[in-house]
Amino acid sequence: MKDVELKEVDQAKQLMTRENNGCVKVTVPDNTGVKYGLSKDELIQIAGTTGWIRTRWALLVLFWLGWVGMLAGAIVIIVQAPRCKPIPEMNWWNKGLLYKISDVSAFSDNGLKGVEEKLDYLSQMKVKGLVLGPIHTVQADRPDTPNLTLINSKVGTENELKSLLEQAHKKGISIVLNLTPNYEKPKNVTTVAEKIREACAYWLTKGFDGIFLSDLKDIAESHYWPSIQVVFNQTDNTKKVALMGSVTGPVDEVSLLLNRSGVDLLLTDPADLTESGVTQAQVIQKLYSGHLQTSLGWRLRGRSLGSPAVRLFHTLLFTLPGTPVFSAGDEVGLKAGEKLQTMWDLENPVEATNATAKHTVCLPLIQTLQEERIAVRDFFKALSDLKGKERSLLHGEYVSLYSSATSLAFLRLWDQSERFVTAVNWGNDSVTMKLTNSDLPAQAQVRLTTDAVNLAVDSKVSVEKLELGPKQAVLLSYPYPG
Bridge partners, 399 (sequence order): 411
pLDDT band at 309 (very low <50, low <70, confident <90, very high): confident
Between 212 and 84, name the one with better pLDDT. Answer: 212
Q: Name the residue type at position 51.
A: G
* Residues 185-201, mean pLDDT to the nearest whole number: 75
Query: What pLDDT, on a 0 to 100 scale, did the predictor assign at position 399?
Result: 93
Whole-angstrom Cα Rg for the chain: 38
In what helix (H) or strand (E) does residue 399 lie, and over which residues does it extend? strand 397-403
Given a cut of 70, is residue 70 above it in pLDDT?
yes
267 vs 349: CA distance, rounded Å: 35
224 vs 233: CA distance, rounded Å: 15
In terms of DSSP bridges, do strands 431-433 and 466-468 run parallel, antiparallel, or are they unpaired? Answer: antiparallel
Q: Give all domains of the chain, ordered by start, each with its CATH number.
A: 92-387 (3.20.20.80), 397-478 (2.60.40.1180)
From the CB of residue 92, how many other CB atoms can be counted at a distance below 10 Å? 17
pTM for this model (two decimals): 0.79
In tens, the pLDDT along 324-370 reads: 999 999 999 888 778 888 888 887 766 544 555 455 556 777 788 88
